[in-house]
Structure 1
Amino acid sequence: MSWQAYVDTNLVGSGKIKSAAILGRQGGVWATSSGFNLTPEEQATLLAAHDNTAQTQASGIRLAGVKYLTISVDERSINGKKGVDGCVIVRTKQAILIGTYTTPSQQSEAAVVVEGLADYLIGVGY
C-alpha cells in the first residue's frame, strides 16, 4: 500500500479524521490529504515536538496555519485542541502521523484511528 493510500483510506477514509499527513522522521512529506499543506517551519516543529515535550506543551502545535493548544504530549503522542476540534500526532520508528478532526468526531475516536495505524506501521518496521 502506498503512503498516500494510508492517508486516504486508513486516516481520512475512516470518517473520523478530517485531514491527515505522514512525515518522514528524517524530513519530508510522504503523503498528505488534499489542501492540508504543512509549511517547512511546521514540519520542523513536528520533527522536534516529541523530543522537547515541555516546549510543545507550552507553545502548542501549528498545522496548516491552524494553532492547536497542546492537551497532552509524550515521546509517542501529542493531542491538541482548538475549540471543539483537535489533532492527534503519533510518532513511529520512521514516520510521524498527523490527523485533525472536527465535530462531531471526538478526540478518543480520532486517537483510535491514528494510534491504530501507528501500531500497525511499528509492527511492520516503520
Structure 2
Amino acid sequence: MSGMSWNDYITNQLTGTGNVSRGAIAGLDGSVWAISDGWGVTQQECQSIATGFTNKDGLVQKGMMCAGEKYFFLSGDDCVLRGKKGNKGIHVAKTNTALVIGQYEDPIQPGQCATTVEALADYLKNCNY
C-alpha cells in the first residue's frame, strides 16, 4: 500500500470519481475500515452482506440492509452483489479480505458505480487485501 489510509481510498477511488455517491470498505468479518462521512453502515450489515456471497437466500428473502435502508437484492455471484431501492442502489465487490461497498443515486448510473467499485476491489486484491 502506498501510504494511503482506507479513508483515502473512499475519497480518491470511490466518491471522488463522481461515479459513487457514498462508499465503505469493510473486512469480511464486518468490521468497518472506512466509510463516507455521515453514512451509517454498520458492522452487522456488513457481516450480513459478506455472508450473502456464500449464501444468497437471506438476501433474496430479506433484501440487503445498508445504512439502515433496505435494498431489493437484484443479483450476485462469488465476487459481486447488487441491490436497488428506487432511484439508488448499492454495488458490493469482494476482495480476499474485504468488501468494497458503493452507493449510487440519480444521475449516477448503476454501471458507472459498478465499474468504479470493481476497479478498487481488483486493485486491493492485487495488493493482497
**TMscore range, shorter length:** over 0.9
| Per-residue deviation, 1:26 | 3.0
Moved more, 76-85 or 39-48: 39-48
Aligned to 1:79, the other structure's residue is in SS state: strand
Unaligned residue ranges in structure 1 (runs of 5+): none
TM-score normalised by length of structure 2: 0.92
- In the TM superposition, what are the counterparts of 1:1-126 in structure 2 within 5 Å? 1-126=4-129
Are the aligned partners of 1:57 and 1:73 in contact in 2 as well (CA < 8 Å)? no
CA RMSD of superposed structures (Å): 1.2
| Per-residue deviation, 1:39 | 2.6
The number of residues matched between the two structures is 126
Unaligned residue ranges in structure 2 (runs of 5+): none
Aligned-partner Cα distance in 2 for 1:48–1:37: 19
Q: Percent identical across equivalent pairs? A: 37
Question: CA 1:95–1:40 in structure 2 vs 1: closer, same or farther (change >3 Å)?
Answer: closer
Aligned-partner Cα distance in 1 for 2:91–2:64: 10
The ranges of structure 1 where at least 4 consecutive aligned residues each deviate by more than 4 angstroms after the TM superposition are: none
